[in-house]
Amino acid sequence: MPDVMIEAHGLTKSYGRPSARVRVLDGIGLRVARAGVFALLGPNGAGKTTTVRILATLTTADAGTARVAGYDVVADRRRVRRAISLTGQFAAVDETLTGEENLRMMARLTGHSRARSRQRAEELLERFGLTDAARRLVRTYSGGMRRRLDLAAGLVGSPEPGVFFLDEPTTGLDPRSRRELWQVVRDLAGRGATVLLTTQYLEEADQLADRIAVLNKGRIAAEGTPEQLKSRVPGHRLDLVLTTREAYLRLAARAVHHSPGSLTLGLPTDGTAAQTRALLDEIDPQRTDVDRFSLHSATLDDVFLTLTAENAEPADTAEAPARV
C-alpha cells in the first residue's frame, strides 16, 4: 500500500448550463497520508460533497487528477472502488428493511457467500451497538442509529484497512450520538484505516483529525494540523458597538463576527493592551464611531469564520487579521 492514500491535484468542477456555469471546485489539491483521519472542513456549499464524490469515483472532475490507494480515480475506477468505502451525506440504507437485512444485502453485493454475509452482519451489528435493534425496520431507528448502520453498511465488504470517505457523518446528531460516532471513527483509524471525513464543525475536526483542510468556495483556504490552524488566527476578538450604520458598513469587511441589528462587529486581535489600543485608534481616529467595546477569547467558530470569511482572499486568509 502506498504511503499517500489520497492525492489530488488541481481538481476543478463546474455545474450548470453553459450559459450559467458555476465553478464549484476551483483547483483542489490534497495529500492524505496512510492511516489516520483527515478532515475537510467547510461551510454549506463549499464543495465538500463534490470533492468526496470525485475521489470516490462517483463523478468526474472537469480538470485535474486524483489517485486513491495508488490508483487513478478515472482510469482505474474499478480498483479504487474495491479499496474504498463510502458513507455519503444522505443515509444510504433501506428504510423498509431491518438493520440486519441491510447489512446482509450489502455483504452479498460485495461478493460474500450467504453464510459469510450473515456472520459479517452479526459482527458489525455487534461492533456498532445495534444488536438489539437488528430485527427492527430502519424506519424505526433514531438518527444516530441510522448513521451507525450507514457506517456499518459501508464497512461490510471493503477490506480493512482501506480508505473511508465519510461525508458529514455527524450532521444532525445529538451530542451523545456524535461522541459515539467519533469513537467509531477513532477505532477505524486505530485499525490502520485512512479516513477522509467532511464536517461543518471545527470542534469535530479538532477532536478527530490529524490534519485539516479548510474548504471555502471551492478552494482550499488553509491546511495543516489543528494546532497550526489555530495558531494562524489571533486568540481574541474585540467586539465593537458602533454609533452609525456608515461606520458599520465601512468596517464590516474586517470583522469576523457581524450582528447588524445591534451595529456590533467583532474584530480579531491578540488581546494585548497595546494592540487593542492601536486597533481602536486605527479604525476610529476621530473617536466618534465606536460607542462601546468588549474583549473575548476567540472561539473555534471565530477561527473557522476567519478562514472562510466572505471577502477573504483564499490561501492567506489567516494572516490577514494579524496585520491589523
Partner 1 sequence: MSDTTASAPGFLTRATVMTGRSLRISRRNVDAVITSMMLPVMLMLIFVYFFGGAIDTGSAYDSYVMYVVPGVLLLCAGFGSATTAVAVSEDMKGGIIDRFRSLDIGGTPVLAGHVAASVVRNLVSTTLVFGVALLIGFRPAATPGGWLAVTGVLLAYITALSWISAAMGLLARTPEAAGGFTFFMSFLPYPSSAFVPVDSMPGWLHGFADHQPITPAIESIRGLLLDQPVGNTPWIALAWAAGILAVAVAASGVLFRLRTR
Q: Which does 90 bind (CB under 5 to 8 A by kind): ligand ATP, partner 1, Mg ion, none?
A: partner 1
Q: Which of 93, 193, 205, 283 binds partner 1 (CB under 8 A)?
A: 93
**Per-position b or e across 135-171, b if 16+ CB within 10 A of its CB:** eeebeebeebbbbbbbbbbbbbbbeebbbbbbbbbbe
**Distance from C-alpha of 231 to C-alpha of 225, rounded to nearest angstrom:** 10
Counting contacts by CB under 8 A, is residue 22 touching partner 1? Answer: no
Counting contacts by CB under 8 A, is residue 211 touching partner 1? Answer: no
Q: According to CB under 6 A, which residues from 6 to 35 bind ligand ATP?
A: 15-16, 24
Counting contacts by CB under 6 A, is residue 49 touching ligand ATP? Answer: yes
| Residue 141 DSSP symbol | S
Q: According to CB under 8 A, which residues from 27 to 86 bind partner 1?
A: 53, 56-60, 78, 81-82, 84-86
Closer by beta carbon to partner 1, 142 or else 299: 142
Counting contacts by CB under 6 A, is residue 48 touching ligand ATP? Answer: yes
**Distance from C-alpha of 79 to C-alpha of 95, rounded to nearest angstrom:** 30
Reading the block at residue 181, the C-alpha cell is 460516532
Total binding residues for ligand ATP by CB under 6 A? 13
Ramachandran quadrant class, 197 (left: phi over 0; alpha: psi -120 to 50; beta: rest)? beta
> Considering the complex, what minimum distance in angstroms separates the CB of residue 61 from ligand ATP?
12
Counting contacts by CB under 5 A, is residue 49 touching Mg ion? Answer: yes
Q: Which does 40 bind (CB under 5 to 8 A by kind): partner 1, ligand ATP, Mg ion, none?
A: none
Closest listed residue to residue 42, CA positions, set 167, 177, 180: 167
Closest listed residue to residue 29, CA positions, set 19, 40, 16: 40
**Per-position b or e across 240-272, b if 16+ CB within 10 A of its CB:** bebeeeebbeebeebbbbeeeeebbbbbbbbbe
> Considering the complex, what minimum distance in angstroms separates the CB of residue 321 from ligand ATP?
24
Q: What is the contact surface with Mg ion in residues (CB under 5 A)?
A: 48-49, 89
Q: What is the contact surface with ligand ATP in residues (CB under 6 A)?
A: 15-16, 24, 42, 44-50, 89, 200
